[in-house]
Amino acid sequence: MGLFDWIGGQFIDVIEWTDDSNDTMVWRFPRQGNEIKYGAKLIVRESQVAVFVNEGEIADIFTPGTYELETANLPVLTSLQHWDHGFSSPFKAEVYFLNTKRFPNLKWGTKNPITVRDPEFLMVRLRAFGTYEIRISDPETFMKEIVGTDGHFTTDEIDDQLSNLIVSKLAVVLGQDDTPVLDLAANYEKFSQYITDAISPFFEEYGLELTKILVENISLPPEVEKALDTRTSRAISGNLDEHLKYQSAQALGSGGGMSEMAGLGAGMAMAQQMAQSFASGNSHSGSGATPPPPPQSEQWFVAQNGSSKGPFGKEQLKQMASNGEITPDTYLWRDGFTDWKRAKDVAGDIFASMPPPPPPM
């Protein structure tokens, strides 16, 4: 290598970056002490931004295009270096390429359940997970707040931080939303857009745009899910009697044995008893409830001519009294008495309608 070839090799004349990765957000051009040739070519491809840093301070930012690095294209760097318009010497600067494309399929998820109020279950603990996608919207802010002097910055270095940010704000968003838990699954798309709009402003502080959050699942605690499964199974079975009849027909069609049929028969009998029990309970709980049977009336026995007759009800005794078959001195007995007693002492009301004795002549 000749002297002039060696001297020429010390100056960089083409600055560019071709990215073959899926996760690189920032890449620093490897200057390695070499100086950039005045008038060198800078190539910034689509979905890229080039940032020139002079002695730790951000100078000029280039959007997609091809540039010749001269004082006219480097106004900030020219001002920082105090170059005059006749400047044509090589110069030193750090060049960072920022990838402005979308970075999709980044994961987020709750590490611990989030307790929220629910209009149906009052309070529930929810777990949620999904994906999100971002892109660099403000290169200068992103360089200052996140990257610093990192020469090869990937999504892995910020993924945990952004995921934690989403989860921390998700609790606030869920607390403000009044959608019932059982309706969230039917509104995942709408809910995803809702939390994207609510959380996006917090990403702007890092120079990032949160383009989308996808909710893949919102789950209840295992014990609540088990209770829901039980309730769903009971609802699906429908009429228990019809369900058991269907099972019986299936067993006959498949050649089930006698033991299987006996079991189904017992099940059907039990189902009928349950159905009758439910019907009885429902009939008593309705507006047309059937009253209980009336209490048993007292049963009386009458002593006449050395023998007992009966039993008679109270109304029958009144009829007998009005016919003269019973007088106040007639002996009566009913359950609970230890001996016979006069009618006037124990059932005087049966004579209430009888006229008093006639006056004397």
Are 93 and 107 within one domain? no
pLDDT at position 2 is: 45
pLDDT digits (tens, 9 = 90+) for 260-312: 555 555 555 555 565 565 555 555 544 555 676 666 678 888 888 878 888 88
User: Sorting pLDDT into bands at 50, 70 and 90, what band is 102?
Assistant: very high
pLDDT at position 307 is: 82
Are 78 and 10 within one domain? yes
pLDDT over threshold 50, residue 78: yes
Among residues of the chain, what percentage have pLDDT more than 70?
Answer: 72
Flag whether 273 is in a domain: no
For 230-246, b/e burial (b = at least 16 CB within 10 A) is eeeeeeeeeebeeebee
Are 108 and 203 within one domain? yes
pLDDT over threshold 60, residue 9: no
* Residues contacting residue 70 through CB under 8 Å, at least 6 positions apart: 38, 39
**Residues composing the chain:** 361
pLDDT over threshold 50, residue 1: no
pLDDT at position 173 is: 76
What are phi and psi for residue 71, nearest 5 degrees?
-60, -30
pLDDT over threshold 60, residue 67: yes
pLDDT digits (tens, 9 = 90+) for 124-151: 788 888 999 999 999 999 998 888 888 8
pLDDT over threshold 80, residue 122: no
Give the three-class secondary structure for 352.
coil
pLDDT at position 235 is: 60
pLDDT at position 8 is: 44
Are 130 and 215 within one domain? yes
Residue 345 belongs to domain with CATH number: 3.30.1490.40
pLDDT over threshold 80, residue 197: yes
d(CA 180, CA 124): 10
Are 107 and 216 within one domain? yes
Q: Are 79 and 69 spatial neighbours (Cβ–Cβ below 8 Å)?
A: no
pLDDT digits (tens, 9 = 90+) for 24-33: 999 999 876 6
Structure tokens of 75?
Answer: 């106004």
Query: Any idea which residue has 């620093």 for tokens?
Result: 28
- Number of structural domains (the chain) is 3
Are 67 and 172 within one domain? no
Indicate the burial class of 42 (C-beta count within 10 angstroms; 0-12, 13-18, 19 or more): buried
What are phi and psi for residue 312, nearest 5 degrees?
-125, 145
Among residues of the chain, what percentage have pLDDT more than 90?
Answer: 18
Last residue of a domain, one of 99, 124, 143: 99
Flag whether 241 is in a domain: no
Last residue of a domain, one of 99, 132, 156: 99
pLDDT at position 50 is: 93
Are 123 and 90 within one domain? no
Please state the three-class secondary structure of 79-113 as a single string. HHHCCCCCCCCCECCEEEEEECCCEEEEEEECCCC
pLDDT at position 336 is: 80
Flag whether 49 is in a domain: yes
Flag whether 261 is in a domain: no
Last residue of a domain, one of 192, 223, 254: 223
**Domain boundaries, position 55:** 3-99
pLDDT over threshold 80, residue 36: yes
Detail the DSSP E strand segments found in 228-292. Answer: none
d(CA 232, CA 178): 24
Residue 135 belongs to domain with CATH number: 3.30.479.30
d(CA 331, CA 318): 14
Instruction: With 0.85 as the threshold, say if the pTM is over it.
Output: no
